[in-house]
Structure 1
């Protein structure tokens, strides 16, 4: 619309005819986000007319008016509409519409206006009047009139209209951001009473978390991506804030939480080891003086009797998590304390310390210190499945994850037989467990499944993951050193398995001797023995490892024959190659001789090498054929012969054994290194350029 048409437009907006007003405001909403148009509109008194429309009309005229004001605020103009004595009436009117009006197009515009109002920073009007009130303070008077406001805004998160749902979530985000940022961090140290935790709890009690969690798992994710990502970032901000608040027994809320822990532990229950004695009144000069149990807090898993100081790293967030766990699992908490009290002191699982450890593990896992701008930038640069992974609905289930993680901690403590000195090792296992279960969980995975996976995860697999991670970590920092270690271990493993395989040859083995196919009658064992003479072959390596002795037998004796009983032998120096069909496990055969697996030893006839000048004319002849009865025996003899001849093993079974020995060697070496060494930084002073103070250019090299 041309700026010259503005006077006529204003005239129609001020008309008493609803049809004229509706058409005019419909055109206005499409032009008002042009700054040059908006400037003339405002200077011509348009804000007064627009305000009147919002206050007095309904239906589409009202919807277009709200949309026009919303778009005007988007270009950061028209804020003067909220100044003056009647400003509160306008805000109250918008709040009233959200509470009482069922029309979606009106609700969208009203919420959009409040998002802008709450998000806008405090400023002074250009006319020099008193500062305009923005933020949540601007809504307080209206919310006092309509206390159901927050409940109805959160209800809109269940709306089938995605645009309305997005506007409602943006309004909640703006309110949370304003509540958190309006109070300086000094309050956390000074011990002042913050309003933001009360406000957040009020929203949570109205079902905010569940509603956003469902949205984050729904198919509407793309339409709500930005407000959902903002809410996720604000959740991290809240966790940061709670962690920054230091636990202080002088603060009523903190004192109540600590007292609740103590009372929930059933302090008057007599424990088996005598540390939980009944707290009783003692007559010690003053009537009614109380002597407390000297292990009051240590029996709960604190290291000292001053629990507040032990929340230093986790802050009030750690106290909230522990108190929440105890409140929801009071019976289990008391049973756990009783169970631990029957054990020696050094074997008890410190419940409070474990809870704090799980809190910090979750905090690091969700990268709660990551800035919101980083999250938004990563979302803009990613696409498809990568964008989907940026949304972490499980973050909103913090309390349930903490409880499940803590129960997993207790289970690992029991299953590993840990004691107090192993606390950090168990914590590291829980860290890996959280990364594996929560980190690998898809966006739509239900939190109940995650809880079950945390507690039921296979401990053996967890240890394997720990070793793999250790190895990867070592690779990053000590790659060259590890390469040499692996090479060394590979040679050691190869030598070890070579010796094992050759010892199998030195021990000797029985082999089947297949019966030639004949058309004669009778296929029984006795008939075949009569037809062929012998059914068994026994082979054994000589002690000096130079000759392979063998002989054929009609019967397999219970005592293995010695070398003197083996009439035939092969000089291994004359062996040229060993061939076999041993590649994959075949069905193990018995003594009936039907096994098709065979090993053939080839060699050159004596004196042939000396006679022929062209070695290419040499012809290999089979010297001996062996028919192993099992695949394991075939692997032992084939690879044993090859390694004896200085060749590499070829069967999968032998190579698997070599890898197994090498891996165990690596694990033993890794387990001998402390965990701190894995992540240790450079030594002190590394990378510092030496000072040249006091030196001149007169230098020389010693050769």
Structure 2
């Protein structure tokens, strides 16, 4: 067919193509697009004010195509489907279009080919399926033809690249919020088996990992929106037919049947393939974020046995890809929540076998023997420095975290522990260092230093390898406590004084942990002399109020920290709801990427917290409230990572004298919204505050995230906490209220014959 302009009248009153200018809404000449059909190429001027269905209808009329126009669709050269959302962009960029089968027709043909299993076309069919399955029209027809059952059968019987294509198609289908509720435990176990096999190809492991991650996140709590994911560890029942019927328990129960799975996933953190390492961290993060009470302890214990923290530290040292930074910060935030939960879990040796076993290990390695006193009372744990034999009470402030730290301290060097314990018992009572009590106090100091004060998201925007080595740092600090006790000739009354020395040294030794090597921190604890620590601590006391170190004040700070964190979270999300202008950027890692045709983008979050709506423009303009001015959108559920500091402004938007071959320099105010396949958006914020608002706000909206990307947000939370604390203390000091160093609980009731009275309010 010879090329030429398309003329004629569509069913709409406005022409789909003209020879002159467009209507008033276009305000200028309509660009000419080429449209490829089965008979050749034609030139068309498409009215951007029409719908895609009207454009296709007129093309069929002018090309004398007898089939119904509903059988056809338009795609560009990359096979992207032309929709009402992107039609105007396609026209203005003069995209080369193709008139092809509609997604529904494609779905019908692909479904039939999958059933036929023709060896010559089967793999190519699966390859096409993984591309088209994301399109709603295609997916609906594919689902109507029981395509999920067919795809499950292919996954169950295939291997190699065929299996990789089938798994990727399933992964892409599961980006929808419907259509895959029929996946059962047999399918989940099959994916677990595929992933746990060391011989599985990398391109098979990537989608298999992503499928398990999606299933973990598909619990009923996650259904209303991304923010609901962390609101409960025990989700309610899913509504009938909902895909949000799986979650942690459904996946972990199948994982337990294949004991090597977690070990294999953790081992893949050391792979040279960045994408596979990224997927593996993301799966671990999802499991951590969605773990329920049923299997929480079993899962966490398994991760600890596999040295997952150490594997993540190695990952950060072996990779420099920005994509991994966000994942590792997510892992770090999840570990902060794990640490907090352990700290707030009571030690109950009479109820929990694990607690009893840990205590028995500690005692047996001490080399001490219980002693029966004259009144018949047995002295056992008091010999190790605790104040009583009530272990639940003694570990009340540090919980299972304190017990784990003491067990690791013993396990690190059992012989030295036994020697120290027996040495202390041989001393006069008032000169003994209360070993177990010192261990618990170190746990408190480290928790305070690292902000393990609330169950919410972690506030550190940088990598903290020392925190991930919590047990080792605890052992170093506890040994430092013992050394300070001995070198200072301390007595029991000097316990708080030695605690102050250790607190001072913790701040010095753990400083700048994102850039300092481990051995330097270690030397700070091992080599620093008592006199130097004491002199520095005396100077610090001149600048600080001793009031701040008292337990009630520390508890008050914890409460205010939670309130400040929640306030900042709401503020960041409110900024996203308001919207903002950003510069469209180019990823430094892909300088050959197409330069943005429009330099500015306005983005705004919808009220449902599920989509980021936006518009690209040549100039900034006043954007009305709502979403009418924002025709395009990004599904937040597709975002896997928020990468920061990885984009640069296009050369034409910076300086005219820059050579097109000059290397791009990343802006510190840039960020990218990344999926498994690539970037959905590359932006540069106008200032530091806007960058912090959006990077942290977007991280909070992700199902498996909780870390903070900016130092500004971390400092903001800390500043609000300290201001609130000072205001509260001013109220107390103004009334001359004496704050005790601690509160001693009275004896428990002798029976249950009591009740709590209602508080009486005279007003």
| TM-score, structure 2 as length reference | 0.53
Residue 248 (structure 2) pairs with residue 163 (structure 1): no
Distance in 2 separating the partners of 1:37 and 1:141:
31
Deviation at 1:73, TM superposition (A): 1.5
374, 381, 384: which one pairs with 1:300? 384
Shift of 1:342: 4.3
State the partner residue of 1:79: 180
Please state if 1:462 is matched with 2:562: no
Structure 1 unmatched runs, 5+ = 184-193, 269-275, 283-290, 380-389, 478-676, 689-703
Q: 1:17 aligns with which of 93, 109, 118?
A: 118
CA contact (8 A) 1:177 1:234 kept: yes
CA 1:434 to 1:129, structure 2 compared with 1: closer, same or farther past 3 Å? closer
- Relative to structure 1, the CA distance from residue 35 to residue 460 in structure 2 (aligned partners, 3 Å threshold; closer, same or farther) is farther
The question of 1:66 aligning with 2:167 is answered yes
Q: Does the 8 A contact of 1:218 with 1:444 survive in 2? A: no
Alpha-carbon distance change, 174 to 416 in structure 1, aligned in 2, over 3 angstroms: same
Residue 414 of structure 1 is matched in structure 2 by 486
Contact kept? 2:185, 2:250, Cα under 8 Å: no
Indicate how the Cα distance of structure 1 residues 155 and 349 shifts in structure 2: closer, same or farther if over 3 A, else same.
same
Unpaired segments of 5 or more residues in structure 2?
A: 1-80, 82-101, 224-236, 549-724, 737-763
Query: Whose RCO is larger (CA < 8 A, sep 6+)?
Result: 2
Structure 1 match to 2:311: 211
Residue of structure 2 equivalent to 1:229: 329
Q: Deviations over 1:107-156 (max 9, x none)?
A: 11111101111221048787659994442434534642x33222222221
Q: Is 1:684 aligned to residue 732 of structure 2? A: yes
Residue 218 of structure 2 corresponds to: 120
Contact in 2 for aligned 1:236/1:369 (Cα 8 Å): no
Aligned to 2:188: 91
Do the aligned residues in 2 keep the contact of 1:261 with 1:326 (CA within 8 Å)? yes
**Equivalent in the alignment of 1:266:** 367
Please say if residues 341 and 455 of structure 2, whose CA atoms lie closer than 8 Å, have aligned partners that are also in contact: no
Instruction: Tell me, in whole angstroms, the C-alpha distance in 1 between the residues paired with 2:403 and 2:103.
Output: 61
Paired residues of 2:174 and 2:214 also in contact (CA < 8 A): yes
In structure 2, what is the equivalent of residue 607 of structure 1?
none
Kept after mapping to 2: 8 A contact 1:50/1:65? yes
In the alignment, the residues of structure 2 paired with residue 687 and residue 21 of structure 1 have an alpha-carbon distance, to the nearest angstrom, of 81
Question: 1:475–1:313: structure 2 CA closer, same or farther, 3 Å change rule?
Answer: closer
Q: Does 1:28 align with 2:129?
A: yes
Conservation of the 8 A alpha-carbon contact between 2:347 and 2:400: yes
Larger radius of gyration: 1
**Structure 2: distance between partners of 1:139 and 1:311:** 31
Alignment of 1:141-152 (within 5 A): 141=254, 143-144=256-257, 146-152=258-264
Q: Which residue of 1 aligns with 2:286?
A: 174
- Structure 1 contact 230–372 (Cα < 8 Å) conserved: no
- Which of 338, 345, 349 is the equivalent residue of 1:245? 345
Identify the residue that residue 659 of structure 1 maps to in structure 2: none
2-side partners of 1:467 and 1:224: how far apart? 42
Mapped pair 1:153 → 2:265: yes
In structure 1, which of residues 441, 446, 449 is the aligned counterpart of residue 513 of structure 2?
441
The Cα shift of 1:165 comes to 1.1
* Counterpart position of 1:331: 415
Contact 1:247–1:308 at 8 Å: present in 2 too? yes
Assess, with a 3 A threshold, how the Cα gap between structure 1 residues 443 and 129 changes in structure 2: closer, same or farther: closer
The Cα offsets for residues 271-294 of structure 1, whole Å up to 9 and x where unpaired, read as: xxxxx86x69x9xxxxxxxx9775
Of 464, 470, 484, the residue aligned with 1:398 is 470
Displacement of 1:198: 2.7
2-structure distance, mates of 1:419, 1:350: 10
Q: Which residue of 1 aligns with 2:573?
A: none
Q: Displacement of 1:44 after TM fit?
A: 4.0
* C-alpha spacing 1:50/1:317, structure 2 compared with 1 (3 Å): same
* Residue pair 1:70, 1:113 contacting (<8 A) in 2 also: yes
In the superposition, the TM-score normalised over structure 1's length comes to 0.57
What residue is the counterpart of 2:431 in the other structure?
347
1:35 Cα shift?
A: 3.9
**Shift of residue 359 of structure 1?**
0.7
Q: 1:402 offset after TM fit, Å?
A: 0.9
How many residue pairs get aligned? The number is: 442
Q: How does 1:235-634 map to 2 (within 5 A)?
A: 235-251=335-351, 252-268=353-369, 294-370=378-454, 373=457, 375=459, 379=461, 390-443=462-515, 445-446=517-518, 448-473=519-544
**CA-atom RMSD, angstroms?**
3.5
Q: Judging changes above 3 Å, is the alpha-carbon distance between structure 1 residues 304 and 99 closer, same or farther for their aligned structure 2 residues?
A: closer
- Over 3 Å counting, the alpha-carbon distance change for 1:261 and 1:98 in structure 2 is closer
Change in 2 beyond 3 A, CA 1:364/1:37: farther
- The residue aligned with 1:553 is none
Q: Closer, same or farther in 2 for the Cα pair 1:129/1:404, shift >3 Å? A: closer
The match for 2:200 is 102
Q: CA deviation at 1:48?
A: 2.7
